[in-house]
Structure formats: C-alpha cells, structure tokens
Amino acid sequence: EAGVTQFPSHSVIEKGQTVTLRCDPISGHDNLYWYRRVMGKEIKFLLHFVKESKQDESGMPNNRFLAERTGGTYSTLKVQPAELEDSGVYFCASSQVPGLEQYFGPGTRLTVT
Amino acid sequence: EDQVTQSPEALRLQEGESSSLNCSYTVSGLRGLFWYRQDPGKGPEFLFTLYSAGEEKEKERLKATLTKKESFLHITAPKPEDSATYLCAVQATSGTYKYIFGTGTRLKVLA
C-alpha cells in the first residue's frame, strides 16, 4: 500500500512569489491534515479536512494560506504571496478515522529568500 | 493551554545501554497519545498509540507507557539503527483531532 506522498520535496522561491504544495493521502483515508515545522520549533497543526470539507482550520496562520481538497482526494496548500517567515517543512498526514493514528508524508521543505 | 514537553532534548547512549525518554502533557482531556520516530529528511513514522493511564505497548526494543500526566518511551538494549528523533503528540478531547507535538528527543546510539 502506497503511503502519503508530497510534491515537491523542496521548493525555493523569492519573497512575494506563489507556491503550491500537493499532498496525496493514503487511498481510502478521508481525513487529511496539514502541519508545518519552522526552524527550531515543534511541528504545528495547520488544518484538517474530512473528505473535501474543512473540519478545523484553526492553525492556518493568515489569509495568505489557502488549502483545498477538491473531490476529497489529493489536497493542495497555496501560499500567496510568500513571506520569509513561511520557510519551513510542510507535512501532510492522513488517517482512516479521526481518532486513530495519522500517517505522515516525507514533507516539503519550503525556503523563501 | 494544551502543551507537550519532551525531555531530554538530546540523548547519547552506548549500544546496549537502556534508557527512557519522557513526554509530559497538559491537556483539558486526553483523547490519545502518539509516539513517532523521525529520521533526518523524512516524515514522522508511527510507533504507538496510548489511550488510557496504565496502558503499555511494545515493539521490538521499544516500550511505551502512559500515566495521567506523562508517557515514557523505554528503549531496551538499543542499537545504532535506533538513532532518530522521537516525537510525542497528543490529541485532546476538545472537539478537534489535531496533534499537539512536543519538540522531540534526538537519540544517538553509538556502536
């Protein structure tokens, strides 16, 4: 069974540009989560989808971040316009049931210069 | 405020030298506590879930335990391949399913 996949693995962009991160969850997992780790800090929650609906977006830092999950399959996280403080590693995770363990992808390392 | 603290930040062990990692948590109500292992450049890899005080789970050289305030990850006779960052995360019963992570313990096992 394929795990959670993320694309790209690494992205370097300039301040003010736009970047879109993609996550493909484990097949059959309705629950999809986005997290990020900024340098030296713990991994922090961004938002949670159940199928195509946003269940919890309390961790989204501001309106420069837009997450979508059209059709309830893969998800995208767009940052527009990117700022220096957006640099970090963005992880996607999925779970079959919300209270069970979440399976993480390898992450996308975003560097904003 | 819900919070997770892990200690120590870093730990160096000789091969075969057993030890324990600590994860203390403060949440309004615990839905579950999760242990993960993370290797450099990779995503967290699931190890264990604990739901109630007194619960224990084992896998090879690892054993996780849970009390009402903390969890321990015991590593028995570690090998160099156990070197990784170990992460603890909790889910609270406050209506959402997000993980609250600690900062992790970086474990290095020397041959």
Q: Could you tell me if B34 and B89 are in contact, meaning their C-beta atoms sit under 8 angstroms apart?
A: yes
Over the stretch A10-46, which tens digit does the pLDDT of each residue have? 999 999 999 999 999 999 999 999 999 998 899 999 9
B43 and A101: CB-CB below 8 Å? no
Would you say B67 and B53 are in contact if contact means Cβ atoms under 8 Å apart?
yes
Out of B42, B43, B98, whose CB is closest to A59?
B98
Report the C-alpha gap between B43 and B37 in whole angstroms: 9
> Residue A78: which H helix or E strand, with range?
strand A75-79
Contact state of B31 with A99 under an 8 Å Cβ cutoff? yes
| Mean pLDDT, residues A90-96 | 97
pLDDT greater than 80 at residue A1: no
| Nearest-Cα residue of chain A relative to residue B4 | A42
Structure confidence by residue, pLDDT tens digits, B95-104: 789 999 999 9
- If you measure CA to CA, which chain B residue comes closest to A102? B46
